[in-house]
Amino acid sequence: MKFKVLKKPPVQGYKSFLTTLFSVIIALLISGAFLMLVDVNPISAYKDMLIESLGSFYGLTETLVKTTPLILCGLGVAVAFRMQLWNIGAEGQLYMGAFGASLVALHLNVESHFVMITLMFLSSIFFGGLWALIPGALKAIYNVNETIVTLLMNYIAILWVDFLVYGAWKDPKGFNFPLSAEFSSAARLSEYFDTRLHTGFFIALVCALIVYLLIEKTIWGYEIKVIGSNSKAAAYAGINIKKNIMLVMFISGALSAIAGFSELAGVQHRLQHAISPGYGYTAIIIAWLAKRSALGVVLVSFLMGVLFVGGDSMQIYYQLPVAMVSVFQGLILFSLIVAEFFKEHKIIMVKQQ
């Protein structure tokens, strides 16, 4: 007996939805078993998760707060995927964006909220974009594999931020914690409805709209799609591939950098150790599940936001260890990926003669 994986015509329509639903249910059952092991009733745990993340207005805004960086990083990764560029460095680009924003917030003395925010925004785009442009240029000029370079540069970016918050930028009044001084009020995004929902969320939505328009409606988007579909045809059509690789990597990095800006200016209000719980990595899965479409990224990010907030609430209400929550989130993500796999493949058993 052996197993073999075969490609099949992709499942579409309601069947596709059922496949996803089915695999999510399986993931819920498996993690339910884990929950029972630690004496938690899975049904009530799941119910509380939903109530926490969607059941109240405040919960919903909390979910949107978590959704914001996911949308931005997801867009960044998706834009690069469009051109078959495997940028898995969104996490590092987020950190460099956060660095860029803090550089302005901590060192420029500007009174005007608008000027301050604009400068922070531009600075984060500048640093995050350049950060991604490095692997982009290496790819365009020397054909260096961007996957490895972007991945490794994540560590550099994260450690660079650590270096600052443990050293030069450490808040003297911070009891030796790895954090910078707090941003001035000019450097903070407005919050709405007495919740933590901030302007960053709306910036993310606008970015999604812009990315959608750029890719689907513009001449440039057409070039990107042609390169992504067949780079030889692109050369034949006279499209400048090298220039576009670098441009797309810059934009991709800039989008993730905006996530860093929005996290700091909107939520954390200072640079600190571990500003992201892995938004940039989750973004890879988001972009993939969203099939690289901008609207898809927004929707999938929202679902991930639910997962993040729900996970937090389990931690708080049931005193579950973080690892348990990670197992739960991992199972759900895994089941979504498996569902996508089974929409295009099937496994058959073959009898050996």
Partner 1 sequence: MSSCILKIENITKSFAGFIANKNVNLEIFEGEIHTILGENGAGKSTLMNILTGLYRPDSGNIYINGTRVNIKSPKDALNYKIGMVHQHFMLVNNISVFENLLLSMKLDSFVINERKLKSKVKEILREFELDIDIEMPVWKLSIGQQQWVELIKLLIRDSKILILDEPTAVLTPQESEFLFTFLTKLKSQNKAIIFISHKMKEVMTLSDKVTILKKGETVKTLNRGEFDEQLLAELMISNKEHLKLEKSAKVFSKQILKIKNLNVKNDKGLSDLSDFSLELFEGEILGIAGITGNGQKALAEVLTGLKKPLSGQIIVNDQDITYSTSKSKYISGIAHIPEDRKTMGIAPDLSVDENLILKNYSSDKFTNFFFLNKEKIKQNAREQIEKYSIKMGYDGIPVRLLSGGNIQKVIIARELSENPLILVALYPTRGLDVGSAEYVHQVILDSREKGMSTILISEDLDELLKISDRIAVMFRGKNMGYLSPESATKTEIGLLMSGKK
Binding site for partner 1 (CB under 8 A): 2, 6, 9, 217-223, 225-226, 228-230, 232-238, 240, 348, 352
Q: How far is the CB of 232 from partner 1 (least distance, A)?
A: 5
Q: What phi-psi label fits residue 165: left (phi over 0), alpha (psi between -120 and 50 degrees) or beta? A: alpha
Q: How far is the CB of 16 from partner 1 (least distance, A)?
A: 14
Classify 188 as helix, strand or coil. coil
Which tokens hold the place of 81? 């995927």
Q: How far is the CB of 203 from partner 1 (least distance, A)?
A: 22
With respect to partner 1, which residue has the nearer C-beta, 91 or 223?
Answer: 223
Q: How far is the CB of 241 from partner 1 (least distance, A)?
A: 12
Q: Are 347 and 1 a contacting pair, CB within 8 Å?
A: no
With respect to partner 1, which residue has the nearer C-beta, 273 or 345?
Answer: 345
With respect to partner 1, which residue has the nearer C-beta, 1 or 168?
Answer: 1
CA 291 to mean position of chain CA atoms: 14
Report which of 84, 136, 77, 128 is spatially closest to residue 262, judged by C-alpha positions.
128
DSSP 349: E
With respect to partner 1, which residue has the nearer C-beta, 215 or 324?
Answer: 215
Q: How far is the CB of 77 from partner 1 (least distance, A)?
A: 19
Q: Are 65 and 267 a contacting pair, CB within 8 Å?
A: yes
DSSP 187: G
With respect to partner 1, which residue has the nearer C-beta, 22 or 236?
Answer: 236
Q: How far is the CB of 237 from partner 1 (least distance, A)?
A: 5
With respect to partner 1, which residue has the nearer C-beta, 157 or 226?
Answer: 226
Report which of 332, 324, 285 is spatially closest to residue 28, judged by C-alpha positions.
332
Query: How far apart, in Å, are the Cα atoms of 352 and each of 4, 99, 100, 183, 346?
Result: 12, 59, 61, 68, 19
For residue 92, give every residue at least 6 positions away whose Cβ sits within 8 Å of its Cβ, in sequence order, or none: 131, 150, 153, 154, 155, 156, 157, 158, 280
Q: How far is the CB of 217 from partner 1 (least distance, A)?
A: 5
With respect to partner 1, which residue has the nearer C-beta, 75 or 234?
Answer: 234
